[in-house]
Structure 1
């Protein structure tokens, strides 16, 4: 179960925000074997002064349209799956909302399976 946080400047339409979420979800389904309906995504829209980033690190050309995607997952994905995810997210967001590849920043945070409770006070991943 990924938990996805998306950070970007305010100003995108509701349709663009939904397409952004749908594109990330589709990329995770393709590469991380995420089950149907396993969608837990939070969009954080920030004012310009609250969204500070290096425009050229490392050798890129970022714009004000930068999207930072942080995906928390259990620590059971391979290096190859992660590399495939980065490419799939870039493909989906470029196709769906016209996002430039330099404006897509992805960070994966891995946690142990027992660090999840999906509800009911249980740790479903280890039961």
Structure 2
């Protein structure tokens, strides 16, 4: 049910992009209890002027041009503890696989209702039971 949007520098190597993609998917499966094969991702590469962040930092975190924006839209209902573990798994995993700074892993979750999805055919696969 999740759809993941990954926005990354156009200078990122293909191996880094794949590692980011795979790490997010692994965290969805292992931490957030997302079903296997539920891997829908949109990966966009951007020039440096298209990845905008506060140069002076925010909330005590400093950023570099290596910033990666990850936005995940998924069904609501996960606890704060699950979300915290999910963020950590992604940041730790990306850092371990690529060397990217954890500070540069920006994650945003968008919680939606189950009926807010159509996986094709114009059907509402998760329609409420009547």
TM superposition score category, shorter chain reference: over 0.9
Supply the RMSD in Å over aligned alpha carbons.
Answer: 1.1
Q: Which residue of 2 aligns with 1:70?
A: 71
Deviation, 1:102, is 0.5
Query: Counterpart of 1:108?
Result: 109
Distance in structure 2 (CA, Å) of the matches to 1:13 and 1:100: 15
Counterparts of 1:96 and 1:65, CA distance in 2: 15
2:31 aligns to what SS in structure 1? Answer: helix
Higher helix share: 1
Q: Deviations over 1:18-65 (max 9, x none)?
A: 111001111111111111111011111111112211131111121110
Cα distance between partner residues in 1 of 2:50 and 2:16:
21
Aligned residues: 127
Q: Distance in 1 between matches of 2:98 and 2:19?
A: 7
Matched, 1:123 2:124: yes
State the match for 2:10 in structure 1: 10
Secondary structure in 1 matching 2:103: helix
Unaligned runs of 5+ in 1: none
Using the alignment, how far apart are the partners of 2:90 and 2:105 within structure 1? 8
Q: 1:16-95 residue pairs with structure 2 within 5 A?
A: 16-55=16-55, 56-95=57-96
Residue 126 (structure 1) shift:
2.1
Note the residue ranges of structure 2 that are not aligned, 5 or more in a row: none
